[in-house]
């Protein structure tokens, strides 16, 4: 079960807490390390599916842990962002990250509920767009954050906060729309399963 594709997927689960720890270290080397880890997350996310389909084979474990690893890795990153961007009285960083968390939690529950009724919910194009937008936003913000440690006089805290909102508002909006698309496109299947279970 622990074939190359699944090992790539599991690496995101294992390294997600490491990202948070490194993010909390206020040093240039740690900023470079967090950016490198984020890039690694995105690369393994692209590679594990390719490896599974073309080399090691698709497994039930892989289907189960791939969305979990994606959610844990990305949510760990966005959660870390709030520790730096939140100031007293400013609740927007938390709200923007909460949108991402709620979307993933609801979609994960819907998939589990559907699977319990023998229905497999197909991936949506909006979900793939969401993943690309989130990954791009993460890399952009971490790139600017890393640059701050090398040229601090040109990228002050206010600029970093502005960049955070420029990244996170589109990310949260696309994530929310993706969640709505997933719920609306699968509501008929969910209703059918609910009636069957009742």
**CA geometry: angle at 39 spanning 37 and 45, to 5°?**
100
- Measured from the Cβ of residue 111, the count of other Cβ atoms closer than 10 Å reads 18
Which domains does the chain carry? 4-197 (1.20.120.1760)
Please give the backbone phi and psi of residue 154, each rounded to the nearest 5 degrees, phi first: -100, -15
* Least confident interval from 20-24, 86-90, 137-141: 86-90
The pLDDT tens digits for 149-191 are 888 777 777 888 888 899 999 999 999 999 999 988 888 777 7
pLDDT digits (tens, 9 = 90+) for 12-62: 999 999 999 999 998 999 999 999 999 999 999 888 888 878 876 777 777
The SS3 call for residue 123 is: coil
Q: Do 38 and 139 form a contact (C-beta atoms < 8 A)?
A: yes
Check: CB of residue 9 under 8 Å from CB of residue 66.
Answer: yes
Instruction: Please tell me the predicted confidence (pLDDT) of residue 192.
Output: 73
- Residue 196, pLDDT score: 67
Q: What is the pLDDT of residue 89?
A: 66
Is the per-residue pLDDT at 133 higher than 80?
A: yes
Which pLDDT does position 103 carry in this prediction?
A: 92
DSSP class of residue 56?
Answer: I
Residue 78 banded pLDDT, cuts 50, 70, 90: very high
Higher local confidence (pLDDT), 116 or 198: 116
**Residue 30 and residue 24: Cα distance in Å, rounded?**
8
In this prediction, residue 1 has a pLDDT band, given cuts at 50, 70 and 90, of: low
Whether pLDDT at 132 is above 80 = yes
Question: Could you give the CA distance from residue 182 to residue 193 in angstroms, rounded to a whole number?
Answer: 16
Separation between Cα atoms, residue 71 and residue 189, nearest integer Å: 24
């Amino acid at each position: 079960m622990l074939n190359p594709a699944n090992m790539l997927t599991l690496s995101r689960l294992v390294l997600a807490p490491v990202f948070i720890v490194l993010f909390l270290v206020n040093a240039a080397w740690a900023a470079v390390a967090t950016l490198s880890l984020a890039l690694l997350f995105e690369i393994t996310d692209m590679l594990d599916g390719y490896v599974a389909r073309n080399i090691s084979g698709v497994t039930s474990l892989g289907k189960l842990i791939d969305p979990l690893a994606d959610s844990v890795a990305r949510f760990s990153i966005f959660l870390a962002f709030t520790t730096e961007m939140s100031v007293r009285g400013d609740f927007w960083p938390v709200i923007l990250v909460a949108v991402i968390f709620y979307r993933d939690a609801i979609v994960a529950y819907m998939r589990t509920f559907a699977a319990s009724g023998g229905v497999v919910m197909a991936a949506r194009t909006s979900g793939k767009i969401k993943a690309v937008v989130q990954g791009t936003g993460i890399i952009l913000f971490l790139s600017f954050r890393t640059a701050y440690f090398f040229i601090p006089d040109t990228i002050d805290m206010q600029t970093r906060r502005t960049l955070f909102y420029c990244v996170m508002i589109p990310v949260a909006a696309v994530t929310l729309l993706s969640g709505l698309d997933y719920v609306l496109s699968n509501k008929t299947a969910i209703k059918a399963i609910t009636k069957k279970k009742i």
